[in-house]
Amino acid sequence: MKTETNPLKVIQDYPVIPVYYNEDAQTCIEVVKASYAGGIRVFEFTNRGPKAPENFKALLAYRNEHFPDMKLGIGTIKTVAQAEAYIELGADFIVSPIVRADLAEITASHNILWVPGCMTPTEINLAEELGAPLVKLFPGDTLGIGFLKAIKPLFPNLKFMPTGGVDVNKENIDNWLNAGVTALGFGSKLFQQPENAKDYNWLTERCQLLIKLVKG
């Protein structure tokens, strides 16, 4: 079977996106393995600590060897230098908490999907003008479902992905989907480890449940 190469298409096909960082490379690998086993095919690692570049490199190496159909992107990218460094490492897509024209330019020049984070109609409009096909609503729980419902008709050609505080229950997921999101980014609420957990089977099961809830 041919592996889909377009990250945006894979995001649309597999709209549950874990957003994760850990200082320990082996822990990162175990988390990605468990997520993949649960059906995840798009994973966002975040640039949130000193070990981020080397851990991302380790994740890419593991991904390339074991599950090449997974898209592995990098988040919390705020500068061109950061974007260039991770593009050089092999990131499949770049996610930012902000909108910047120079980030749009550098990702476009490398033909890399850029997902900017937006909080206002002005930022969303700027992201659209800069060519972003998918916008991250951040922080999702602060903006809320009502915000998306209000602004979505203004941007009929844009796709939206809330990240930050998106809950892992059916009601919250259904509300976001009914408001018209393309994908959902799951952070700390996805990775709350149950007490007495000895391995990452709980994460595999949680990912399976989320995919079932999102795909109906």
pLDDT digits (tens, 9 = 90+) for 176-211: 999 999 999 999 999 999 998 889 999 999 999 999
Residues with active-site annotation: 44, 136
pLDDT at residue 71 greater than cutoff 70: yes
For residue 94 the two structure tokens come to: 């770049």
**What is the reported pTM?**
0.96
Distance CA 104, CA 66 (A): 31
Helices (H), 152-216: 170-179, 201-215
| Whole-angstrom distance, CA of residue 142 vs CA of residue 201 | 31
Give me the mean pLDDT over the 91-110 stretch. Answer: 98
pLDDT of residue 2: 46
Asked if 29 and 37 touch (Cβ cutoff 8 Å), the reply is: no
Give the integer Cα–Cα distance in Å for 8 and 142.
Answer: 25
Nearest-angstrom CA–CA distance, 211 and 37? 12
Q: Is 105 helix (H, G, I), strand (E, B) or coil?
A: helix
Give the integer Cα–Cα distance in Å for 95 and 114.
6
> What are 186's strand-pairing partners?
18
